[in-house]
Structure 1
Amino acid sequence: MNTTTVAAFLAVDLLLVFTPGADWAYAIAAGLRDRSVVPAVAGLIAGYAGYTLLAVAGLVVLVASSASLLTALTVLGAAYLMWLGWGVLARPAGLTASTSAMASSRLRVMLKGAGISGLNPKALLLYFSLFPQFIDPAAGWSVAAQTGLFGTLHMAACAAVYLTVGVLARTVLRTRPSVARAVTRASGAMMIVIGGLLLVERLAAR
């Protein structure tokens, strides 16, 4: 496969990953609330792994071409995102939570992350609209193999960026509890706003 094509895909993909959104908000909130940001990021990546498998199987095209299914996904994802955002607002960062409590909630944190990325219609559209632009039938690789490569590169980029965002949020704000709470509330508010915008955008497009 042409390395120039891969580099061009990475350049565009990184621009999208570096754009703050629901994933950023969740990574920041997890960085401030939990002992480790890894479970949250692992959950976010798990959601994208699901999309990658769908894309490799060719099912993303079928889902993205169904207006009713996209609307249902958007409504569900937006409602879930706003619900999580409200939870973050109601319980701002607490850096003194017990280790046992954190350990017991790691699976829940991961599942929430998978829900955020897995129910985000923007992710579906990214896989549907971005990937085909870089698929080259004459590249010597099958379409499924190229799709799998792009999906893997996207997940790697997300993992690197979100881990950095979460760790930086925790490290920089560790000694500033009042600022940490303010940033956590801002992250929760961002989730609610993004969820509302997704909902309005999709319903307006019907």
Structure 2
Amino acid sequence: MSWHTYMLFIGASLVLCLVPGPDMLFLLGRPIAQGRAAGLCAAFGINLGAYIHLLAAVTGLSALVLASATVFTVVKFAGAAYLVYLGWGALRAKGGFALQESSGKSTLRHVFWQGFLSDVLNPKVALFYTALLPQFTSTHDPRPVAHLFELGVIGNTVGISTSVAYVFLASRMTQALRRSKTLSAGLTKAMGALFIGLGAKLATEKL
């Protein structure tokens, strides 16, 4: 595989990482509401979910899901329901998710697995791997599976690097905001409404 192909794939992965979506919203919400540690846990949880999608795509499972209307619909509605669940939890929260830095192991573990589920239950991520990866291989490739997995690891490395940068930027910009109970509560409610809106959009749109 040529150096040009690798660079083209890295560029495509970076552009897709910058496109707003449920994962980005969840990722930005953690450092805003709970601090940098929670944001990093969310980033690594989302990245682990991306590896599940990568493995599914390489083994053909993603193509199977996308080919089956019933299975695809189930995955889509599960993802939509999870987004609405997160949004409803944010709307019900009193005074924000947390007004102090979240450092408890149980809290950070919970955020990690929330990020993981946010990514795993997002059918658009499955579509990304199934549609994009084959564009960078050929029928004459002697090791197609190995090269697909290699590209996926590169894409996920771009993803985690971008996510960590987002977390540090969001944490730095919102430290003052989180000291205000009124602003923290307002940010939490706004994020909750956005999650519910994204869930409703995912449930109704055709992918």
Equivalence map 1:72-111=2 (5 Å): 72-91=74-93, 92-96=96-100, 99=103, 102-111=104-113
What is the aligned counterpart of 1:138 among 125, 140, 150?
A: 140
How far, CA to CA, are the matches of 1:55 and 1:129 in structure 2? 9
Gaps of 5+ in 1: none
Change (3 A) 1:28 1:98: closer
Gaps of 5+ in 2: none
What percentage of residue pairs aligned between the two structures are identical?
Answer: 29
What is the aligned counterpart of 2:203 among 188, 199, 205?
A: 199
1:63 corresponds to which residue?
Answer: 65
How far, CA to CA, are the matches of 1:168 and 1:54 in structure 2? 32
RMSD: 1.9
Q: CA deviation at 1:97?
A: 5.5
How far, CA to CA, are the matches of 2:2 and 2:186 in structure 1? 46
Change (3 A) 1:188 1:135: farther
Q: CA deviation at 1:44?
A: 0.5
How far, CA to CA, are the matches of 1:65 and 1:27 in structure 2? 30
Kept in 1: contact 2:91–2:188 (CA 8 A): yes
Kept in 1: contact 2:57–2:126 (CA 8 A): no
How far, CA to CA, are the matches of 1:119 and 1:15 in structure 2? 21
Change (3 A) 1:157 1:185: farther
Q: Which amino acid aligns with 1:3?
A: W
Q: Which amino acid aligns with 1:22?
A: P
Q: CA deviation at 1:80?
A: 0.5
Output the TM-score relative to the length of structure 2.
0.88
Q: Which amino acid aligns with 2:191?
A: S
CA deviations on 1:158-203 (whole Å, 9 max, x unpaired) are 211222222221211101235454444333322221111110013x
- Please identify, of 161-170 and 45-54, the stretch whose mean Cα deviation from structure 2 is larger: 161-170
- Please identify, of 193-202 and 71-80, the stretch whose mean Cα deviation from structure 2 is larger: 193-202
In the alignment, does 2:118 pair up with 1:113? no
Q: CA deviation at 1:98?
A: 6.2
Q: Which amino acid aligns with 1:191?
A: F
Give the paired residue count: 200
Q: CA deviation at 1:66?
A: 0.9
CA deviations on 1:99-121 (whole Å, 9 max, x unpaired) are 4xx32212211111111000001
